[in-house]
Structure 1
Amino acid sequence: MREPCSWADYSATCLRAVTSCHQPACRTIDLKLHQEASGALNTITSYGADYVAINLERHEGSIIVMPETPVIQWPVTSFETLAPENFDALLELAPEVVVFGSGSRLRFPHPRLTARLTQLRIGVETMDFGAACRTYNILMSEGRRVAAALLLEA
């Protein structure tokens, strides 16, 4: 008998989920976080391999989202093309912490890319896309001034 998916398998990506306690395989699914959106704050209501929905509005490219500001299209199409100016775009938003969703897998940006944020004592947390979406919602619901920079690769 094979063992069911481990917690590491489950939490490694937003698209993996245990089918049941009795089945050993994982399957790919889209994850819906909330059934209803709050119009007052930008909430990530669902996400999948090629999209993220903010207050039920679907976005299919990289974005920057904060609780109380309009969603910003982030001109980043791949992890390899990240540049310091991509992260500098977050400076005028003045978040206390940036949650960087590095795509379908966890990849850490070179420290030179986030140096200005660090100099200004803005925390930068890197995680895979799904974890970044979930973490943003938690921090936002706690009233934190959080920005999520979510990379959706083309």
Structure 2
Amino acid sequence: MNREDAPEGPIIKGFRERGFLVADRYVPGGLKLTPDDARDWAATDVTELAVADVADLLAMEPPPEFILLGTGNMMARPPVAFVRAIEARGVGLEVMDSRAAARAWSVLRHEGRWIAAALLPL
């Protein structure tokens, strides 16, 4: 991919320790991504996620097609109430380990998809 083909917005360039390399900065823990922004995320445990933890992603205009949820080093199921609350807002949820979600983010943004991501620490 050359520069002209690069997707707009933040792209994860790698992983280090428990965090993510985004553009030229290291995010030492969890990470939230929108097509326009990358910011630290304090959530650490998939079993304790509530819709309030991703309310800012759900508030995007227009709403994201879906949220990529990275559950850390291994894929784990989020609480059923969390999944249902997101889907009730008409937003899909794709769950995978955080490394896979980071790779999927880059591919889907390259396709121009309007998505969001919430990645728990590695």
TM over 0.5: yes
SS in 2 for 1:143: coil
Match of 2:30 in 1: 62
Tell me by how many angstroms 1:62 deviates: 1.0
Structure with the greater alpha carbon radius of gyration: 1
Aligned length, in residue pairs: 117
SS in 2 for 1:138: helix
Match of 1:87 in 2: 54
Name the CA distance, whole Å, in 1 between partners of 2:46 and 2:112. 29
Q: Greater relative contact order (Cα 8 A, min sep 6): structure 1 or 2?
A: 2
Q: Please give the root-mean-square deviation of Cα atoms over the aligned residues, in Å.
A: 2.2
Does structure 1 residue 75 correspond to structure 2 residue 42?
yes
Tell me by how many angstroms 1:115 deviates: 2.3
Does structure 1 residue 117 correspond to structure 2 residue 86?
yes
Tell me by how many angstroms 1:89 deviates: 3.2
Name the CA distance, whole Å, in 2 between partners of 1:39 and 1:84. 28
Q: Which moved more, 1:96-105 or 1:56-65?
A: 56-65
Q: Is the 8 A contact 2:7 2:110 kept in 1?
A: no
SS in 1 for 2:90: coil
Structure-to-structure mapping, 1:94-113, within 5 angstroms: 94-113=63-82
Q: Is the 8 A contact 2:67 2:94 kept in 1?
A: yes
SS in 2 for 1:90: helix
Gaps of 5+ in 2: none
Q: Is the 8 A contact 1:88 1:117 kept in 2?
A: no
Does structure 1 residue 51 correspond to structure 2 residue 4?
no
SS in 2 for 1:115: helix
Determine what percentage of the aligned residue pairs are the same residue. 26
SS in 2 for 1:87: helix
Tell me by how many angstroms 1:124 deviates: 0.4
Q: Which has the higher helix share?
A: 2
Q: Is the 8 A contact 1:39 1:55 kept in 2?
A: no
Counterpart among 144, 149, 153 of residue 113 in structure 2? 144
Tell me by how many angstroms 1:64 deviates: 0.7
Name the CA distance, whole Å, in 2 between partners of 1:124 and 1:150. 12
Match of 2:95 in 1: 126
